Copies of this chain bind each other. A is one copy, B any other.
Amino acid sequence: MLPVIQPDPGPPPFERIAIVGFGLVGGSIALAVRQGWRGGLIIAIDRKDVLEAAMRVHAADVAGDDLVMASGADLIILAAPVRQNIALLGRLAEYVPGPALVTDVGSTKADMVEAAAGLPERLRFIGGHPLAGAAAGGFDAARPDLFRGRPWILTPDRPDDDGQWAVGDGPSAMGSLERLERFVTALGATPVTMGADEHDRLLAWLSHLPQLTASALMHVVGERAGAAGLALAGRGLRDTTRLASSPAGIWQDIAATNTEQLSAALGDLVDALERLRADLSEGSELKRIFESAARWKANLESAGFKDTG
């Protein structure tokens, strides 16, 4: 790897960080915080069997399976599957008496932001979504550099609040969004701000549609070609279906919380496939779609993610 010049993280933007859900993303946040600065206290909340592995490598300072452990945190990160995060959000107020910034790392944002409208004023919610992943899930796959060089989308529902939610005050106080941006920057990511609806629409195209397509393709090809046929497959099918190992559970959550945008995306793809299908002999639609695809593919490969900070 090329050496990476790390920006000075400065003083930790949060002092007591509660992470609810200690899987790939939650665990990687903890490991990245550990690597980034020493001062912060990490509170891990998950099932006890999950936390054992995390505590063995000292990924957290304190750990437990009760939401009450988040009561003293100044940053609460919900890192469970989307619908579980929504349920957790509803219970947070009874456990957390003081002011705190609450964020999440889920793949859809609009339903979460809507649920956050019910929070008391002392709990300020800003949705988050690190665009980083790995082939495997769970804490065992967690690593401190998971977010390095990747975008981390933040979806504040209103303009920043000029420090009124800062724990502590004086000249060093800063707005919640600015603090959260500093936090994800310290984890190696680049914060990108957009609205929750814009996020869900964009991710339907960039992530949710490709996932559903890869799984649907692998399903029909497997059923029709069978094991003997698959033995002859080459790299083309393998790459196109790389995502097809993804577990159903988290994708049921994502699909259920982004039905409208994802339905529109699926509809557009089905239209394109039907246009191809109606014109296989002539091939003029194939030519049009392939030439457009090749242009966008060149765009995708050349652009990559540039630092937008």
Q: Which residues of A contact B (CB under 8 A)?
A: 131-133, 150-151, 153, 192, 202, 205-207, 209-225, 227, 229-248, 251-252, 255-256, 258-259, 262-263, 265-270, 272-274, 276-277, 280-283, 286-287, 289-301, 303-306, 308
Contacts and interface: CB of A to CB of B under 8 A. Distances in A.
Contact of A303 (B231, B242, B293): B231
A221 B237 contact: no
Q: Which of A216, A225, A229, A243 has the most CB of B within 10 A?
A: A216
> How many monomers of this chain does the complex have?
2
B232 A202 contact: yes
Q: Which of A211, A255, A267 has the most CB of B within 10 A?
A: A255
A215 B272 CA distance: 10
A256 B241 contact: no
16 contacts: A150-B234, A205-B229, A209-B221, A213-B273, A216-B293, A224-B265, A231-B306, A236-B243, A239-B239, A240-B242, A244-B294, A247-B294, A248-B291, A251-B286, A252-B287, A262-B280
Nearest to A263: B277
Contact of A205 (B209, B224, B242): B224
A297 B206 contact: no
A69 to B, nearest CB: 31
A283 B297 contact: no
B248 A305 contact: no
Given A202-B229, A245-B297, 13 more contacts: A133-B234, A151-B232, A206-B230, A206-B234, A210-B236, A215-B290, A241-B293, A241-B297, A245-B294, A252-B286, A252-B287, A267-B277, A270-B277
A25 to B, nearest CB: 14
Contacts of A300: 218, 222, 230, 233, 237-238, 241
A234 B287 CA distance: 27
A232 B206 contact: yes
Given A215-B293, A247-B294, A263-B280, A131 B234 contact: yes
Contacts of A233: 206, 300, 305
A298 B245 contact: yes
Nearest to A233: B206
Contact of A240 (B210, B248, B252): B210
B206 A225 contact: yes
Contacts of A305: 231-233
Given A292-B219, A296-B222, A211 B236 contact: yes
Q: Which of A205, A252, A262 has the most CB of B within 10 A?
A: A205
Given A151-B232, A237-B207, A219 B131 contact: no
Nearest to A135: B235
Given A205-B224, A234-B150, A243 B241 contact: no
A276 B218 contact: no
Shortest Cβ-Cβ A-B pairs, 4 listed: A222-B296, A252-B283, A248-B290, A218-B293
